[in-house]
Structure 1
Amino acid sequence: MDKRRSETTSRLVTTSAQATHNFEVTDFSLLEGMGAGRYVSSRTFTAGGRAWNIRLYPDGEVDKAAYASVFLCLVGGAKDARTNYTLELLDKDGEVSHLQDQGTTTMKSNTFGAPFNAWGFRNFVEKSKLKTLLCRNGDDGFTIRCVLTVVGESVSEDVRAVAVPPSDMHQHFERMLKDGRGADVAFNVDGQLFRAHRCVLAARSPVFAAELFGPMKEKDTAEPIKVDGLEPCVFEELLLFMYTDRISDDGKRGADDKNAAAQHLLVAADRYGLDRLRQMCEAKLCRGIDARTVATTLALAEQHRCARLKYACLAYVASRDVLGAVMKTDGFKHLAASCPLVLVEILDAIVKGKDQ
């Protein structure tokens, strides 16, 4: 009798899909008085093959006008969606506000049985506290961030299967940039020296390819290549993107600093033909448009042919009664001097907005 025993092991793996959606609410004071049970919605976003949106009840979902209510709603796709999610109130600088009632910042787990099922928080934030936040921010808006995980199927697999780790190539390239090993080109940016690798720069940028290897290449010399018109911090951020395909986390910066950094980096991206970086900067600037920055951003969009950013600026001015405040900014004076034809487009957008 064969007494040998065999031992096998399997592992249960549950799939999931995650999405984050930021619902920016402007002019909140105009929403008050809608009445209990009436809501406004974010645009639809997708996660786990389903469509979702965020619903804000300015005067509460039920007759509790002292609180604003916030819910996550399934608006399309397969039913019986198991989820984990958070709904958080962000202040002007993108930080999580501490004004929400206890219990509303914890992760919730709910199953959305059918389209238009909604789960969330009736007492999301007390309106008196929310007004305190708006006064502190100096405007009339805030952001609701939803981080949603849709739980998928569970599958058993053999533990002997090889788990492939995520790519860490960008980490190796970043380390190569920082330690300077093998660097064969240097740049002088306003007196600050940056060392890099010709092949990496040429592979990422057609401008660098022409400058370093093309007919117009710099002469082989030990002298660093002088870069005019860029600040050292912007050139450093440009190099980081070229080596890692990402930009630095600017979470600790204020809103004005974030906007200025994105503007300078967009100019650099356009200069060196980095289309993906340029579009990343455009997306950041679209999220940061307000009455103080819209004129400067619009001038930048016009000068660097950023059609989507230009449209977002014109739409902002046309959809809000902010032209008077915009005209008082230094950015508007610069816009009028450098791009006078854009003023006609602003007026045209405002007229079309009123006719709709």
Structure 2
Amino acid sequence: MAAPDYRPGALPLGAQAMPTPIPTSAPTTIPPAVAQAAVRWLLDLEPGDSSSARRKRQQWQSWLDADPLHAQAWQRIAQVDGQLRGMPTAVAVQTLASPALSRRHAVRLAVMMGAGAGGLLALGNSPLGQQAWLSASADLSTATGEQQRTVLADGTRLLLNTATAVDLRYSSSERLIVLRAGEIQIESAADPSPDPVTGQPRPLRVRSSQGWARAIGTRFTVRQYADDTLVQVQEGQVELQLRHDMSQTLRLAAGQQGRIAAQQLLREAAAPAADLAWTQGMLVADDMRLGDFIVELARYRPGRLHCTPDAAALRVSGSYPLADTDKVLAALSRALPVRISSRTRWWVTVEKS
């Protein structure tokens, strides 16, 4: 059997040659949705000639032919993959060809060796590169506008909101979920594998940039912001702890919420039910400023969604499905004196009509 091709710029294993030429005038910035899709294709294409592999290659080919931007994004992804394949042959073969390693783990190993991070970050501007890299490297992740439900090995139920990335760090002594970006809901389960030394159930904790949230038989949400972490408890109790001062703790009961800041833990007023509507795939507004509504809606829509200052002060109420943001915008234009201006599919402005 012929050895895999590890030349820089070669396509992922099992992929066909790219039929669409890259226009020389193509833009240098790839829209977030396209970049994320290209990263996912890099990770999901399968080698071999199984029916599943052939079907995925056909889907990939259809995606590639659908838009010239897809072809440009694929060219950049191929360059990243070429950097990975530019490692020493023995390491590359062991990383990419071993059936024991997934392509996701291959990319992570390559970056740990200093071989691929720069390429992924070069997909576009800095936030885009960071999001693409999180999607490629996390144990579990969602793209912009995507939600994902999963059941972990211990029976814990996990719901990932839009643009979310988590790592799982389960050991004989603890169950740790690392929230790297985004928002999750956790429904804890009884530990099926207690600590072999103490015989006690392993603690279930979520770690964010600022601290920890320890579950005490509970269901709760954790959202990572730029400067702090918001924890909202729906059932049971959750204990918060500062990352850099573990002596500070705060226990929250059902119906309460708290914030983990850099230097302190803050108890806040109970969260309105609308804050949890995302767990049902909805965005609920109750006399909400349109500017704030658009900021929240933008989390679920790839590209740039902006509200002009004159329209931002308008008020909006209602329940809106997050699965189709175009329909949400159309509904706003019917209910409010606003118009939706689209420079491209990824550059949309809401302005007063």
User: TM-score, length-normalised on structure 2?
Assistant: 0.22
Higher-helix-fraction structure: 1
